[in-house]
Every structure is written in C-alpha cells, then in structure tokens.
A and B are shown apart, each in its own frame.
Chain A
Amino acid sequence: MNLNYTAAEESFRAEVRAFLAAELPADIRSKVRLGRRLHKDDLVRWQKILYRRGWGAGMWPRRYGGADWSVVEQHIFDEEGAAAGAPPQIPFALRMVAPVLMNFATAAQQNCFLPRIISGQDWWCQGYSEPGSGSDLASLRTSAVREGAHYRVNGQKAWNTLGQYADWIFCLVRTSSDARPQQGISFLLIDMKSPGITVRPIVTIEGEHEINDIFFDNVQVPVENLVGEENKGWTYAKFLLLHERTNNAGIGNCKRALKRLKEIATHQLHNGRPLIEDSRFRDRIAQLELELMALEITNLRVLSAVSTESRAPGPEVSLLKIKGSEIIQQLAELQMHALGHDALPYLREALEADWVPAPLLADHYATFAPPLTGQYFNYRKTTIYAGSTEIQKNIISKLILGL
C-alpha cells in the first residue's frame, strides 16, 4: 500500500494545474469563488475549453474522444479544478446518458450524440422522476405509445434540473403495463424542441430557478430515439444511476468548501478574535475534515476496485453518495454559521457577477457572505436527489449486507 502519488500522477497534476492557470477564464473563476450565479454560457464555455484540450470527458474511452483517465487521474483533475475555481461539469450528458449510450445504443446513436456531448454542443437533462414516482421510480407513468415510425409521449416529469437550458432530455417512459412495473419501461431520447413539450419553472427553497416540471402533450418521438430494446429501459436506467452515484462523493467540491470554511472562520471575528480560535467551532471543522479525509480514500478504494475489475459500479457506490452529500451539507451549514447574524440578510441581487456591495455593508459581503445561507438551504437537496439517503441505506442493507 502506498498513499503517495506516482511521478506520472504528479506530472499529470502539474499539467492540469498549468492548464487551469492558463485557460480557466477569470470571470468564471471569480463567479465560482464568490458563489455568484453561473449561467448556461459559463458552463458551456468551460466545457468547450476542456474539449479543445482533449479533456472534454477525461474518463471516457479514447475511441469516443475521452482521455481514458484512471480513477486517480480523474480524482486529481477534480481536485485541481475545484481548487482553482473551475465550475462543475454538468453530469447529465457526460456521466449519465453517455455511459448508457456507450453500452447500449446503436453505433448510429453513438455517432450522432456522443461527439455533440463532449464538445459542449448539446445540453442534456434527466427525465426520470415524476410527481408520483420519486424513490419508487419504477412506478412511473409517462407513456409512450408506438404509432408507426414514432412514439407518442404523454405525461409529466418533475424536479428536472436545468431543463430550461436543455436541447435533449433522456426519459424513462412506460411502453407496457402488462408485466411487473420494471419490465414495461423504455429509455427514450427526446428533442426538447419537439412540439408538445412545456417547461414550467419550479422555484426552490433558496429562491432560485434550478428545477422544472416538464409536460409532454402528444409529443412525437422518432423510433430511432429508443435506446436498446423496448421495455428493457429499467436495466439501462439502473446502470445510469450507479454511474451517477460514483460522482456523488464530490471530493473536490468538498475540499474547496472546507478550505473556504477555514478562510471564513479566520476572517470572521468572535468577540474581536478570529472565530477559528474558538475551540468549539474549530472542533466542528476538525470533525468534518476527518470525515473528508476518510472519504477521499474510501472513494478511491471503491472506484479503483470498480476500474481494476473493469465492471460496472455496484451497490458500494451508495456509501459514497451518502457520505459525500452529508459532508457537503455540513460544510455549507458551518460556513453559514461562521457568519453569525450576518447569515440573515437575503441579498438576492448579490448573486450576480457584477454586484457591488453598498459601502455601508461590511467588507465580507463582497467576498463571501451573500451566497452562504442560500447554499446551505440549496444543499438540502443532496440527500434527496440521485437516490435519497434512506434509499441508499436500503440498498446497502439489502444488497451488501444481505439483511
């Protein structure tokens, strides 16, 4: 065993760092650092820059334009990106639908979609959940009825992240109600410009527009957009969920949040002294740092096992999802607490990049205060989406522990 990075890994890290220093646009970096709003253009611009460097999808196999990164290389890339203030790569296309396409789609579908994904041309969103089908996804009711060369799709998808930007949605639809619910589901790719699709914004707890309801009213979808076999969609859906969860530890993001927390606690005063000198508060930081230290290695252990055995990720990724989501929630909570009563003001306008604080506000309003409380509220979602904590624990107890 050896916790040191190899020389090759270290040189990869240096390469990533140099790239980020040279190529990450200053305006995007500043938005990420200050917690200001990122717009579609920022995220697409960054994806295109990565693509030009050959890192549009580092973990993808080379034959699809990826860089065949190892688990450790991906980890280094995430860590450096987060530290430098790079925005996240939105996972729906790169890490969710793409692995499904690579494993189950036709060559024509792969050739059509994958290049447009890696280059940042198409934005994808995920159409799984419905109002009545969240944890119990297999009960979904959005229907697709085969009519000649088309499916006619009717129904509603809920809680759809960033669907307002999307060119495409990958959907689970019901194509049969004959057998067990899992057996009548198909995996459809739907053009968001299709007539009959309506996107309705949902405002979330912190006051932002991040999710949507999507309504399908007699939407015609060409049969070529079916992935794999009809009524076999549940297999692909589960495969996708496991891929989704490998990304949920979010170590890089947690590390950045931890560093930020320390900065804030050093800057904020408690009775005239830096808050970090308060042992009660510092212990809370320490406790989280321990969790993160352990999770970093757990994450690498789990993902390396998956990759050396070259198999699809299994139920063990549930633990990464549980821990990663809890740690980022608690980091956000402590960041908010570090502000003391300065956590109370709700300065919505302060989330825009060009906001300049009024001169009467304390200087930390310019550097960190405004987004923190909203972030704490927003991060409540992390233990709910991508399979809630309770569902992950059910998976661990059933599939790993055999209970």
Chain B
Amino acid sequence: MDLRLTEEQLALQETLRRFIAKDYDFERRRSLALSPLGYSAEAWAQYAELGLLGLPYPEEFGGLGGSGVDIMAVMELVGQGLLLEPYVSTVVLCGGLLRDAAAHAIKEALLPQIAAGKLQIALAAYEAAGRYELAHVASTAVRDANGWRLTGRKSVVLDAPSADYFLLSARSSGNRTDVEGISLYLVRRDAPGLTLQAYPTHSGGRAADLHLQDVYIDDDAVIGAPERALPVIERAVDQGIAALCAEAMGIVTALNAATLNYLKTRKQFGTVLGSFQALQHRMADMFIAAEQARSMAIIAAIQANSDDPATRRRALSGAKAYIGQAARFVGQQAVQLHGAMGVVDELNVSHYFKRLTMIDMTFGDADHHLARFSDALRIEPIGAAS
C-alpha cells in the first residue's frame, strides 16, 4: 500500500494552486459566475495547455493516461478554488464514458478535441420523475426509416448551455424503470427538435432542462451496446461521483482552514473564539470529519473505474454517502462558527457551503447512496457463524 500522492501529482496541485492564486481569486470567480458564460474560457484553454483536459485518456487519443488518483488530485484543487469550468461534465463523465464505451472512430474524433479544449459534452441522463435513478428513463427512442427518433425530457443537465454535444439516455423498449432497454445517444447541441431551458445553479455553474421532440439520430451516434447502456452510464457517473468526492474534500479542507483561522483571530468576551471549549470540540469534530472524508475520497478515486460493478457500488455509493454527511456537517458548522460572517455573500465561506450542498444534491444525495450501499449488504456473503 502507498497512500501518498506522487511527486508529479503534488507538482500538478502546486501548479493549480499558483494558477488559482494568480488568475482565479475569489473576486474573479464571483464575476465569472455572474458572466453570461458562467466560467472562464481562458482558464479552459489553460487547462488544455496543462494537459488537464486529456488527463484521463490514453496517449493515442491526445491524453496523458492518468489515473483516478490523478483526477482526485486535480479535483481537490477545483474544490479549493471553487473553479466553475465544466471539468467534471466534459472530461470526467462524458470523456470518460466515451473512453470506456465508444467505438474507436468516435474516440478518435472526439477525445483529442476534448483534450485540446475545443469540445464540451454534457451528460443528459436524469429525468424529473426518476429523481436520482439512472434506470428511470421515460424518454423514448423509436427506430424508423430515418434513424432513431428521440422524444422526451431531461432535467438539470449540468453544463448543458456550453456543451457541443449531449450524451443522452433514451428508452427503446421496456417500462420506464427497467434496467434493460436504455440506449445512449450522442446528440448534437444544434440537432433539430432539441430545445434548452438554461439557468444558473446555486453554486455558480450553468445547467438546463432539455426537451426533445422528434430529434433524429444516426446509428453511428449510438454509444455502447444498444438497449444495454445503463452499466455504461453508471460507470461514468461513478467516475463523476469520485471526482465530486474529491472536490468536496478540497472544499472541506479549505473550510476547515478558514474556520480554524477565524477561531484563532476573532475575539469576543475579551478572548479568541478558539478559547471556548464548545468550539474547540466542534473544530476537532470538523477535523475528524475531514480526515475521514479524505479516506473515503481515496477509496472512491481508486475504485472509480473498477470493472466490477459491485466493487464500484460499495466504494462509490459508500463514499458519496459518507462524504455527503461529512460535508454537510463541516459546511453547516463552518457557517455557524463564522456567525453572521458565515451567511454573507461577500465572504467565500457561504460559497463553499453552497457548493458542498449542491455536490450532495448531484448524482444522488447522501441518503440515496446510503440506501444503495445498505441494499448491497443484503446480498453480501457473510460466511458461516462460528
């Protein structure tokens, strides 16, 4: 076992740390969040130069062949800097999905473009009535003489407004909650019949609800096995979850540092807040929560691309549930211990807290993943009682 980051990973983090300090301070981030695009196009180009956008792809597709731990190292800094760029959607989720499941020709056409910062893709997998269930797909795909005809709605597609393509799930057979019968389509943003209702999110990014009315797709835009796309989508979402876990860990670390600093400097009753034992113990609990969360983020990063779905389920649902709870605790307490300063827009504490909350609500909240983790226990072999 080796639980340390490599020299390269630490160097990558240092590069990002310097980039954030120089080009992405809190005020800059605030104006980006309010801008029409919602993120920095220049930053995106810089990420491409640094190799971040091709990090998880094989070299033959313009990538660096990086691991889940490499992504974790990046995402921790994405969290600390509250970076707004659609890294998870394009690079981790959709690029990762194409890498794992697309035909060679599609990988060749799209992955180098992603790596170069020229192409963005968003995952359109969730529907309102399904909540966090990826198998709940009511959108339909019907085969006719002109190709696949897609109709339906997708809700809260993250980073949709800036995407060039969507990876979109639709059903060509079965009931709306069946595991089988779901296919995945690569849909151009400007496909006739596709409309977007775009909006900002509470943590500064952009998203949209998608409406499809007779959108036609060719056969070669079907990704993975037709009608058996669910495992492919789940695997990609697991990688997205690992990335979000690392982002949350980065935020928790930053919030703890900010709160600790506040406890050491803010004075009331003639002494620093940190001299009150109730707050010392709270801070100690926050520290413990952060360490535990980091361990779970490591488990998630290492198992995110495991070929065994059961191993992934344990690791990723476990991590998302645990980190959701830990982040809730740390986020709420960081706000609380800052007093009124914790609830103002002017200070980054409230923004970290909002981002943690939105991370919990993305790809299934803590309860959702606790349920999945706990359901998996029912089929676990226990061994004979001794």
Contacts and interface: CB of A to CB of B under 8 A. Distances in A.
A341 B211 contact: no
Interface string A257-269: 0000000000011
Nearest to A284: B367
A224 B353 CA distance: 46
Interface residues of B, number: 54
Interface in B327-385: 332, 335-336, 339-340, 342-346, 350, 353-354, 357-358, 361-362, 365, 367, 370-371
A-B pairs with lowest CB-CB distance, top 10: A360-B197, A136-B268, A205-B350, A203-B345, A271-B133, A269-B129, A341-B156, A340-B131, A270-B131, A344-B201
A380 B332 contact: yes
Contacts of A378: 343
B130 interface: yes
B335 A346 contact: no
A394 B268 CA distance: 14
25 contacts: A136-B268, A136-B269, A139-B268, A159-B340, A203-B345, A205-B345, A271-B177, A272-B129, A280-B367, A340-B131, A340-B132, A341-B126, A341-B156, A343-B358, A344-B203, A344-B361, A344-B362, A346-B202, A347-B199, A358-B197, A360-B153, A360-B209, A374-B202, A380-B343, A384-B343
Contacts of A129: 340
A111 to B, nearest CB: 35
B344 A204 contact: yes
Contact of B128 (A269, A336, A346, A383): A269
Contacts of B200: 345-346
B135 interface: yes
A151 interface: no
Interface stretch (A46-54, A68-76, A236-244, A385-393): A385-393
Contact of A342 (B153, B155, B335, B340): B155
Task: State the majority secondary structure of interface residues on B.
Answer: mixed
Given A347-B199, A362-B128, A272 B362 contact: no
A207 B345 contact: yes
Given A134-B339, A135-B268, A205-B350, A346 B155 contact: no
B136 interface: yes
Nearest to A136: B268
B86 to A, nearest CB: 14
Contacts of B177: 271-272
A373 interface: yes
Nearest to A338: B131
B279 interface: yes
Contacts of B202: 343-346, 373-374, 377
Contact of A269 (B130, B196, B201, B346): B130
Interface of A: 129, 132-136, 139, 158-159, 202-205, 207, 211, 268-272, 275, 280-281, 284, 336-337, 339-347, 358, 360-362, 373-374, 376-378, 380-381, 383-385, 388-390, 393-394
A346 B132 contact: no
A360 B211 contact: yes
A270 B133 contact: yes
Given A136-B269, A344-B362, A384 B344 contact: no
B363 to A, nearest CB: 8
Contacts of B267: 132
A41 to B, nearest CB: 25
Nearest to A279: B371
Contact of A205 (B132, B158, B268, B353): B353
A205 B358 contact: no
A383 to B, nearest CB: 6
A284 B197 CA distance: 33
Contacts of A136: 268-270
Given A205-B353, A390-B279, A341 B339 contact: no
B358 A344 contact: yes
A341 B132 contact: yes
B156 A380 contact: no
B306 interface: no
A205 B354 contact: yes
Given A203-B346, A378-B343, 19 more contacts: A129-B340, A132-B267, A139-B270, A205-B335, A211-B340, A269-B129, A270-B130, A271-B131, A271-B133, A272-B136, A280-B367, A340-B132, A340-B361, A343-B202, A343-B361, A344-B201, A344-B358, A360-B195, A380-B353
A269 B131 contact: yes
Contacts of B133: 270-271
B26 to A, nearest CB: 14
Nearest to A370: B199
B207 interface: yes
A205 B340 contact: no
Contacts of A362: 128, 153, 155, 209
A333 to B, nearest CB: 9
Nearest to B371: A280
Interface in B141-185: 153, 155-156, 158, 176-177
Among A135, A159, A384, the most chain B Cβ lie within 10 Å of the Cβ of: A384
Task: State the majority secondary structure of interface residues on A.
Answer: mixed
Contacts of A133: 268
Given A135-B339, A341-B155, A341-B156, A271 B361 contact: no
Contacts of A376: 357
A171 B204 CA distance: 37
Contacts of B345: 202-205, 207
A26 B367 CA distance: 38
Contacts of B269: 135-136, 139
Contact of A384 (B129, B207, B339): B339
Contacts of B136: 271-272
B278 interface: yes
A389 B128 contact: no
A381 B342 CA distance: 9
A40 B207 CA distance: 33
Contacts of A340: 131-132, 361, 365
Contacts of B361: 336-337, 339-341, 343-344
Interface in B234-280: 267-270, 276, 278-279
Nearest to A209: B345
Contact of B340 (A158, A271, A389): A158
Interface in B41-71: none
A175 B126 CA distance: 62
Given A205-B353, A373-B202, A380-B335, A390 B131 contact: no
B336 A388 contact: yes
B197 A342 contact: no
A216 B271 CA distance: 27
Contacts of B126: 341
Given A374-B202, A376-B357, A361 B343 contact: no
B195 A384 contact: no
Contact of B336 (A211, A339, A380): A380
Nearest to A271: B133
A326 to B, nearest CB: 11
Contact of A380 (B270, B279, B342, B358): B342
